[in-house]
Structure 1
Amino acid sequence: MRYTVDDLLTLMAVLRDPQQGCPWDLRQHWDSIVPHTLEEAYEVADAIERRAFDELPAELGDLLFQVVYYARFGEEEGRFDFADVVHTLTAKMLNRHPHVFPDGTLASRRPPGVAPKALEQRDVKQSWEALKASERELRAQAPVSALDDVPRALPALSRAAKLGKRAANAGWDCADTREVLAGLRAALDDVENALAADSDRAGERAGEAIGELLFAATGLARRLKVDPEQALRAANTRFESRFRHVEPRLKDRGQHMPQASADTQAPPRR
């Protein structure tokens, strides 16, 4: 027997039943589930990065369970249910893919052999961004900004990349990569100047400059079509590998980490 989405929704309804449900699940609310949602999303990403595809169905299931949780909260409060989530998502995707569903219906298709210009990757991307901007305008009651609805809960590096991309799409961008690199160097100079200053606020100013340096780095990553979050995750993995390579040798010598340079002890980068 294989369970279905309907079985999953029934399971959640029972877990949240005031008389027969699980005490832990009954205590949960909108805000308490958010950390679990973020954690599950990262576990999906981790499984993919490790190519642990045998683990992926379970990890994706855990992420789906978060969606079912929110849908249950919405249903209990009379706001929406899981069917509304599915309907809204499908309608939005149909609207965003006119090059695939020309009539805006699931049954519509473009004529066989027709490959419209909109199918070119750049045009599809521009159309996608324009449709999302239009959706933001429909949702907004106040004047619309290109930066509206960039989630504040995103990891800071990912949010910086998204903010920079939105601003660039709106026409606020550096002329070329050399200008981006100049901005990086200027931010690094600001860090050095802040540390050299004889001031009680030297540390605070250095922190601000480091923030500008990191933000500028996301701009360079965008220019080079590199996902900064993924690039940093990969760098973390490489650093962890080098550290783990050095750590046993230092322990064998009775040497503490601060006494040795990981750079000189680590194997060469590849």
Structure 2
Amino acid sequence: MDRDTSIDELLEIMARLRDPRSGCPWDLEQTFATILPYTLEEAYEVAEAIEKADMPALRDELGDLLLQVVFHARMAEEEGLFDFDQVARSICDKMIRRHPHVFGDVDLAGPDAVLANWERIKADERTSKRDESADGVLSGVAQALPALLRAEKLQRRAARVGFDWDAVDGVLDKVAEELDECRATLDERMPHAERVHEVGDLLFSCVNLARHLGVDAEQALRAANHRFESRFAKVESGLRERGLAPSVETREEMERLWEHAKRDET
């Protein structure tokens, strides 16, 4: 089956599912808002397949994510807003516009120059779209982004106009400062809201550190989560071999098995 036929079939399937007379009751009752959690979930499942280097899973998950695009486009078409072809046309136009060194006569030397030009074009696009009441360096960074990713985008926006640390040493000092301020909230008289505030500042400064080290904070934390899961699974396995289970009473054994699991990774 060729590419156009495959896309056409998928669009026809979604149209049938949303047919008011003979469609699927579940699909028919969905809205942009109710489908949104599934769209986000599918995007994360794509990320997980990539992290695991599981190409068959990646193929399937990309299909699931494509279905989400088709679903949203179909609902928009029903409301007379736009259709799938307009979605595809929009991204085609955007990619051509943002790659003048490929589709035009702009000469850019190397990936860094390409990225800088890409960011300049995006900034120009944002300026043309927003109204004066929404004008600002940080305008347009989506509120729905994961917090770590949004923090990094906000920091990058500010850095483009010179509001940034000159060197990573300053960021390290800031992380240490925020950690000390978190430690100060251990005072039992400290309001809980203040603890939330200081922990937020600490996390924001850690994202800043990751950015200056050239590390994607969101991916780094996802990788740390995977390591924790893998190590703890080994702890549970070691306990089962001894006829034990995770509990307060087996904490010392859990810590010993944890260290053993860490050594196995090196």
State TM-score, norm by structure 1: 0.89
Indicate the residue corresponding to 1:158 in structure 2: 149
Q: Which amino acid aligns with 1:6?
A: D
**Is this contact kept in 2: 1:29–1:73, CA < 8 A?**
yes
Q: Please state if 1:54 is matched with 2:56.
A: yes
Indicate the residue corresponding to 1:228 in structure 2: 217
Q: 1:265 is matched with which residue: 257, 260, 264?
A: 257
Indicate the residue corresponding to 2:172 in structure 1: 181
The alpha-carbon deviation at position 200 of structure 1 amounts to 4.9
After superposition, give the CA deviation of every residue in 1:188-235 in whole Å (9 maximum; x if it has no partner): 000111113x4250x322221111111111111111111111111111
Indicate the residue corresponding to 2:183 in structure 1: 192
Give distance in 2, aligned partners of 1:169 and 1:179: 18
Residues 4-83 of structure 1 mapped to structure 2, 5 A cutoff: 4-83=6-85
Q: Pairwise CA RMSD of aligned residues?
A: 1.8
Which aligned segments of 4 or more residues in structure 1 are displaced greater than 4 angstroms?
none
Indicate the residue corresponding to 1:125 in structure 2: 115
After superposition, give the CA deviation of every residue in 1:109-167 in whole Å (9 maximum; x if it has no partner): x8xxxxx3x13222211111111111111111125222222121111111111111111
Indicate the residue corresponding to 1:107 in structure 2: none
**Is this contact kept in 1: 2:32–2:72, CA < 8 A?**
yes
Give distance in 2, aligned partners of 1:253 and 1:127: 61
Sort the Cα spacing of 1:238 and 1:92 in 2 relative to 1 into closer, same or farther, 3 A.
same
Unaligned segments of structure 2, at least 5 residues: none
Indicate the residue corresponding to 1:106 in structure 2: none
State TM-score, norm by structure 2: 0.90
Give distance in 2, aligned partners of 1:160 and 1:245: 33
Q: Please state if 1:249 is matched with 2:238.
A: yes
Give distance in 2, aligned partners of 1:255 and 1:36: 35
Give distance in 2, aligned partners of 1:263 and 1:228: 27
Q: How many residues are matched?
A: 256
